[in-house]
Amino acid sequence: MWTDSVGNLIVLKRGLGGEKPKKIMYAAHMDQIGFMVKDIEESGLLRICNMGWNWAGSAYNERVIFRNGITGVVGCYGPIEEAGNRIEKLFVDIGVSGREEAEKLVKIGDCCTYFGPYEHLAGDRICSRALDDRLGCYQLIESLKENPGNLPNDIYYCFVVQEEVGTRGSKVAAQQILPDIGIAVDITPAHDYPNDLTGHNKVGKGIAVKVCDPSVIADEDVLEILEKLCGEKGIPYQREVIDRGGTDASSMNLTGSGVRTSGICVVTRYPHSQSSVVSAEDIEGGIDLMNAFSAFSDWPF
């Protein structure tokens, strides 16, 4: 177990080897979206810029929290309807009466993120900020705990940084590991409620197995194995195709001389907001699939 220079936490559970042992890298990112302070106005309002992808509309009138515990409310210069998705039209109000007071609490370059507590909804649904990608980190931890230590493959559980700003951490981690297979453990947007995205993803209909997104096309052999294991283990799953966004699969895919990649993703409503919603059963299905994939040995490559 080690932490590298950019902040990735990499945990290796060695396998026993065999005829075709593989190095499998699971990557879940620890960072979450938010905003960075780029200026403090005379009034004490904070001008902000994006850290990752935010929708101005979902941030408007919501609370944010800084690392030091200072909280604020996101406002807009003018009607939010006229802001489009321009984050430069937003500001954060931390309740002060001027710049001098604000500078005692917040500095240029400080980051804030959404204030959205964890809640249980009806049935098996849960709601929270930062489920992208707290979910993946949770799944890695649970799968690591359930790894019996006698698997044929070397399993790298990678808790990576800066996925939301360009899949940076996984690039560094993958260069250290040079895995045979890379699996992004992340979320994917749902398409089963009114929104501006279209597709097949549905909350509660099983773990999503990545086929394609704008940043990566999944390896067909890896995809076939993941689907085969879902069938054998009785794990509900759905094939994931999205035409916006991406994951750490993209950076792992282009590491070294190339890495076979796919993704194990939890379908999520209201992603990149303070109130994302997922199914607990989908989360558990992802853990079961990771465990089965880690133990697989009949590789066709």
pLDDT score recorded for residue 297: 94
> Structure pTM?
0.94
pLDDT at 19 over 90: no
pLDDT band at 111 (very low <50, low <70, confident <90, very high): very high
The verdict on 14 and 100 lying in the same domain is no
The verdict on 154 and 42 lying in the same domain is no
Number of structural domains in the chain? 2
CA angle 98, 53, 63 (to 5 degrees): 40
CATH number of the domain bearing residue 67: 2.40.30.40
pLDDT at 18 over 80: no
pLDDT band at 142 (very low <50, low <70, confident <90, very high): very high
> Does 125 reside within a domain?
no
Residue 216 exposed, middle or buried by CB count within 10 Å (0-12, 13-18, 19+):
buried
- Helices then strands (H, E): number in the chain? 7, 18
Spatial CB neighbours of 170, under 8 Å, sequence gap ≥ 6 = 8, 27, 29, 158, 160, 163, 182, 184, 248, 251, 252
Tell me if residue 163 is catalytic.
yes
**Distance from C-alpha of 269 to C-alpha of 213, rounded to nearest angstrom:** 17
- Residue 49 sits at φ, ψ, to 5 deg, of -130, 165
CATH number of the domain bearing residue 226: 3.40.630.10
Q: Which domain does 85 fall in, by range?
A: 34-114
- Residue 65 half-sphere exposure, CB side, CA atoms within 13 Å? 11
Catalytic residue among 62, 82, 163, 240: 163
